[in-house]
């Protein structure tokens, strides 16, 4: 935060930082990656369906064959990774 003692600590800062680092790394490797990569950040994702429906209706997934997502989860122990397949 630019304001001492104040921050929006719900995880969006972590989501954004992770997405930007991934975009930077994959941009550096673009000669080795086939296809088109699209980076998206869902707004209002706290409660389903959040911003997902509006984003889909706006066409953010048009032409997308595969999608990978990540989400910070405060209920999991630090340093662990959980996963699930299929629609979330």
Domain boundaries, the chain: 1-81
- Is 27 strand, coil or helix? helix
> Do 16 and 7 meet the contact criterion of CB atoms below 8 Å apart?
no
Q: In which band, very low, low, confident or very high, does the pLDDT at 8 lie, cut at 50, 70 and 90?
A: low
Tell me how far CA of residue 41 lies from CA of 3, 17, 52, 78, 79, in angstroms: 24, 11, 10, 23, 23
pLDDT at 87 over 80: no
Question: Whole-prediction pTM value?
Answer: 0.68
* CA 26 centroid distance within chain: 15
pLDDT at 78 over 70: yes
Measured distance CA(85)–CA(8) in Å, rounded: 29
pLDDT at 29 over 90: yes
pLDDT at 68 over 80: yes
**Mean pLDDT computed over every residue of the chain:** 86
pLDDT score for 5: 81
pLDDT score for 47: 79
pLDDT score for 1: 62
């Amino acid at each position: 935060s630019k304001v001492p003692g104040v921050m929006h600590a719900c995880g969006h800062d972590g989501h954004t930082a992770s997405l930007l680092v991934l975009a930077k790394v994959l941009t550096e490797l673009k000669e080795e990656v086939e296809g088109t990569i699209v980076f998206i950040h869902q707004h209002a994702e706290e409660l389903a369906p959040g911003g997902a429906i509006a984003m889909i209706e706006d066409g953010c997934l048009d032409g997308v064959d595969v999608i990978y997502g990540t989400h910070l989860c405060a209920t999991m122990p630090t340093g662990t990774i959980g996963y699930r397949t299929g629609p979330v």
